Structure 1
């Protein structure tokens, strides 16, 4: 596409220089620019893309999308726009041929459960022979291919390229995690969603959103935008009725609402819920009075809700309860999401991604439902992130765990000892018992060494992650690998 063609689809865009120049790609990172690219100068939190226009030009950028004309290299054509982020989203969507218009698009947002819910939705659709692409925290899945990701929701050019690849590979549907950051930062502005799924809203990311109301308003953007664009199939807002924010959200969308839940009256509701260390069983009640037994191998009441959300999406599409239940029964589970680590030890070890007060509470309450002994938990908190949740997580651990080992998570630029002390304030506030071990491997070893038959040990916060981020280095670290190795050593001993 040419600069002039981009200008025609943007509001208030000014073309500087030769508007007939054709671009061969779109890039927002000057280090990744290739010859023929359009470079989008995006103001960021730590730096400003406008500072790198000259570098992008030297690497081969042939045109620029900027907010400030004075940063454009002399003689280079440019699009001058009021806001670069939403403009980049529109340009990327056009450049890749509006790929979301070729896919039945499902966006999943919420504080907890996005990753599991997207995977269960994909399992339900693909189990009924509906090819479905997925992108989110863990990876991008297209057919049998797996691709690494950098963000839960990619920047607009990366996301549109992914969606184009999905459409070209014959996917009929796509499901993706939609983070609050992505909604506020215009990464998904040009995506035409058919279904939005709301899992829950609890405290997280307040370093970015500042207060819970702003966080809610960010999530609500997905539902306010539903129903725009070209319909590619049935549309709906799928909302967790058990969450306190559901009532407000139900009134903020222009498409039909389908609710799901366990506690509250819902369109699709779980009854007769049974939780074990190896999975869940429940009966899903559907609007027409159909009752469908469901059993699948991911423990936790929260996973019942995640499964209900997936079945609600399948129901919107037109799948039958029985075929969805069969797909869930075959699903092996999501890496790092309440993942059981079993090396034949006489106690249960679970690795989970829980990194919010609500996520930790859900994990601990689930463990209590099937534990035959005591509950121990190993966790920390990420550095340079919402500090207000740290003592709250400590309170949860102090109330619900029998013992707690506090350790490093991804401390980033912060002193991990300071983070531990902030969490410990909450544990102390409720009279809980805790130990401190900065080294995460030693902390896991400490927890596993003191576990007795029938106990449950939760190792939470990092889940699928295979690294630890420190101030001056990122090292390989996988909770699952470490736990397996220690358990093997204990078994030999």
Structure 2
């Protein structure tokens, strides 16, 4: 595609000294090559403008960067014998996402984006499962990677991939016949415009609680980043699904957006108007649910997974699925066939004395509270929790998580999570400040072993924080560590 055509597609008119063919686009100078358009983005740690000379030297045909007041750039720049056009735009990140989608090609017809502090991965996976149960070719994309019934290259485990990877992946899914996709929309990805080129047809918002304040600084800024999905990216008249039990401020903001933009708003939860939870009775294998659909009580059904929050995520996914109301009841009837999501309240070990252990990704105060409350009805003995907190992240979460664990669990062991560049002992101390009776065992494997050795009949152990992750990040290095396999192996040893 000619550069002038690409610019005109976005309503941008520029006087160009040349009009090169553009075959690819990137924000990574290492991927620059002849025919490439390099977009220099400014990140939190690095400024892409630093790498402009390298991109040009590698053959980039043109460079896009942010317009700066009072700063003028020459129309061309030469490096190592290669000359590239220089174009300044007000919003390079948005241009990158939209151009990447245009160059990559058509996307699947039905794309659901899920945002929220907790529940994104589970909701996306449940959406994929429900579509496949309806004999639709589907995929989910996010923290758990790319999951599909077609063979494609794996993706890095990021909640929301970069805009170019996302566009290329969606185009590849479409080529392979995938018609329905669920993807996680992180607040970082939304604020950085990574999803601005995605043809979203439906969107869900699970909840909003404290997280990522190291990046957004305030809860309001965090909320606004997530609302961008509904305010801008979801087309007018699109399908919007929310958990009605979320915080009032987020709920009312979403209702206001839905009214202004004529969105098809569907609400689920104990106060849901579309799907209302009347009863949720825990059982050894999950829970029995009594639901109302648009005010009409449905036959009771068994949901095969523990934790009320898992049922809420499944209902979010169900409400995302149907296009016509007459399809709703048959989709809800598929809930008993759902399977658990890796690392989300996942049972990983059963001891001979009847005690059991679960692994969950809960790494925020709200998520930890929800999973502990959800496991309590399944516990006839003591509820034990092993957890820590990640380094180089919002420090304010740590005492809150300690307080929640001390209040809701019968026994607490504080250990290391992903300390990253921080001192692990300092992180543990910040948690222990509000959980003084907790036991401190820095070595995560030893902490899990100690917890398992102390389990008695009817006890339930929760290992929280890392979920599906298979590594522990310490001082810039990733050490192999999988809570699920390690807990299962230790349980076998003890048996």
1:84 has 2:88 as partner: no
Structure 1 residues 239-254: aligned runs within 5 Å: 239-244=242-247, 245-253=250-258, 254=261
1:103 to 109, 124, 143: 109
Displacement of 1:424: 1.0
Displacement of 1:172: 1.8
Q: What TM-score do you get using the length of structure 2 for normalisation? A: 0.91
Structure 1 residues 308-387: aligned runs within 5 Å: 308-316=315-323, 320-321=327-328, 323-345=330-352, 346-387=354-395
Displacement of 1:79: 2.9
Displacement of 1:278: 2.9
2: distance between equivalents of 1:327 and 1:110? Answer: 24
Which residue of structure 2 lines up, in the alignment, with residue 449 of structure 1? 453
Unaligned runs of 5+ in 2: 68-72
Displacement of 1:235: 2.8
Displacement of 1:17: 4.4
The answer on whether the counterparts of 2:287 and 2:302 sit within 8 Å (CA) in structure 1 is yes
1:136 has 2:135 as partner: no
1: distance between equivalents of 2:65 and 2:157? Answer: 24
Displacement of 1:319: 6.4
2: distance between equivalents of 1:76 and 1:241? Answer: 52
1:467 has 2:471 as partner: yes
Say if 1:314 and 1:290 are closer, same or farther in 2 by CA, change over 3 A: farther
1: distance between equivalents of 2:323 and 2:289? Answer: 21
Which residue of structure 1 lines up, in the alignment, with residue 4 of structure 2? 4
Which residue of structure 1 lines up, in the alignment, with residue 51 of structure 2? 52
Unaligned runs of 5+ in 1: none
Say if 1:290 and 1:438 are closer, same or farther in 2 by CA, change over 3 A: same
Range moving further from structure 2, 165-174 or 194-203:
165-174
Look up the SS of the partner of 1:307 in the other structure: helix
Say if 1:467 and 1:15 are closer, same or farther in 2 by CA, change over 3 A: farther
The answer on whether the counterparts of 1:14 and 1:81 sit within 8 Å (CA) in structure 2 is no
Which residue of structure 2 lines up, in the alignment, with residue 158 of structure 1? 165
The answer on whether the counterparts of 2:392 and 2:419 sit within 8 Å (CA) in structure 1 is yes
Say if 1:467 and 1:11 are closer, same or farther in 2 by CA, change over 3 A: same
2: distance between equivalents of 1:241 and 1:198? Answer: 10
Displacement of 1:422: 0.8
Which residue of structure 1 lines up, in the alignment, with residue 240 of structure 2? 237
Look up the SS of the partner of 1:369 in the other structure: helix
Look up the SS of the partner of 1:404 in the other structure: strand
Structure 1 residues 475-490: aligned runs within 5 Å: 475-490=479-494
1:405 to 399, 413, 421: 413
Look up the SS of the partner of 1:77 in the other structure: strand
Q: What TM-score do you get using the length of structure 1 for normalisation? A: 0.92
1:279 has 2:282 as partner: no
Look up the SS of the partner of 1:80 in the other structure: strand
1: distance between equivalents of 2:13 and 2:459? Answer: 63
2: distance between equivalents of 1:276 and 1:417? Answer: 39
Look up the SS of the partner of 1:360 in the other structure: helix
Displacement of 1:38: 2.0
Say if 1:451 and 1:32 are closer, same or farther in 2 by CA, change over 3 A: farther
The answer on whether the counterparts of 1:108 and 1:177 sit within 8 Å (CA) in structure 2 is yes
1:117 to 119, 123, 140: 123
Over aligned residues, Cα RMSD in angstroms? 2.1
2: distance between equivalents of 1:164 and 1:311? Answer: 25
Displacement of 1:14: 4.4
The answer on whether the counterparts of 1:12 and 1:82 sit within 8 Å (CA) in structure 2 is no
Which residue of structure 2 lines up, in the alignment, with residue 26 of structure 1? 25
The answer on whether the counterparts of 1:196 and 1:223 sit within 8 Å (CA) in structure 2 is yes
The answer on whether the counterparts of 1:292 and 1:321 sit within 8 Å (CA) in structure 2 is no
Say if 1:417 and 1:6 are closer, same or farther in 2 by CA, change over 3 A: same
